[in-house]
Amino acid sequence: MGRLEGKVCIITGATSGIGRRTAELFARQGALVTLAGRREDMGREAAAGCGAKAEFRRCDVREESQFKALVDHVVDRHGRLDCLFNNAGGPAPVGGIETIPIAEADAALATLFRSVVIGMKLAAPIMLKQRAGSIINNGSVAGLRAGLSTSMIYSAAKAAVIHLTRSVAMQLGEAGVRVNSISPGGIATGIFGKALGLKSEVAEASAEAVKQGLAKMQPIPRAGLTDDIAHAAVFLASDESSFINGHDLVVDGGVTGGRMWTPHQEAVKGMRKAFGIEA
């Protein structure tokens, strides 16, 4: 029996990257998975790859009416909702604050933050009635530390997601509904290319190319993989995490832990030399 056997789950932003891989693992663990996204061809292909327990529903999660139709469909079909993974994301404007185009910032915030608010708003009544459920929101280490994203708007949106997660967890937890977030570090997906202006198809194909650079960001000397986040999501969706609520699970290879050891020791050697102290 799988770790998510029979659980009814919705994953947004599931046409590629973290969402797609998470859907595959959820299905493998026995979940009934609905993949949601805007790119229909990619979504149907992704759902087919997950097997008979998965389906795709086209949905722009920035629009409450579309998100509601998605949730209603799932509940009508299965009679319940056990897990919602608010994973949909995308790039945000880069550059200094004095250069930020407000219209683009608003659009990014709608994807990164408003969709999470909508998803939790819609899932809450169902899970409260069940007195059970797991909501997982995709945060980011950029929401925990400045300078870990090319976009300060992206960082601010993710900080808001992480704090909203804690706030909602304090409410829903009283009814046995858990609300947690996952904060990925440098995960090799197409989001880096999208952030720098590549078209979606080209950006998705660039994921492999960013691995070498990402391997140097943290103590663990490799890029983060979509599997790393997908496995964390399986844990938070499962009953194994039934006493975890209001937590931000950081999956970053140690990038937020502090200054890396080897560069720090090289700096100490330089100071010793400057002071005339023998090593």
Residues taking part in catalysis: 154
Give me the mean pLDDT over the 263-279 stretch. 87
pLDDT in tens, 166-199: 999 999 999 999 999 999 999 988 766 666 666 6
Q: Which domains does the chain have, with CATH numbers?
A: 8-275 (3.40.50.720)
Residue 206 identity: S
Q: What is the pLDDT of residue 221?
A: 93
pTM: 0.93
Q: How far is CA 273 from CA 150, 262, 264, 269, 276, in A?
A: 36, 17, 14, 6, 5
Q: What is the 3-state secondary structure (H, E, C) of 224-263?
A: ECHHHHHHHHHHHHCHHHCCCCCCEEEECCCCCCCCCHHH
Q: What is the pLDDT of residue 200?
A: 66
Return the half-sphere exposure (C-beta side, CA atoms, 13 A cut-off) of residue 58: 6
Q: How far apart are CA 267 and CA 197, in angstroms?
A: 36
Return the half-sphere exposure (C-beta side, CA atoms, 13 A cut-off) of residue 179: 27
The answer to whether 84 and 123 are in contact (CB under 8 A) is yes
pLDDT in tens, 194-241: 666 666 666 666 677 788 888 888 999 999 999 999 999 999 999 999
Please state, rounded to an integer, the average pLDDT across all residues of the chain: 94
The answer to whether 13 and 39 are in contact (CB under 8 A) is no
Q: What is the pLDDT of residue 189?
A: 83
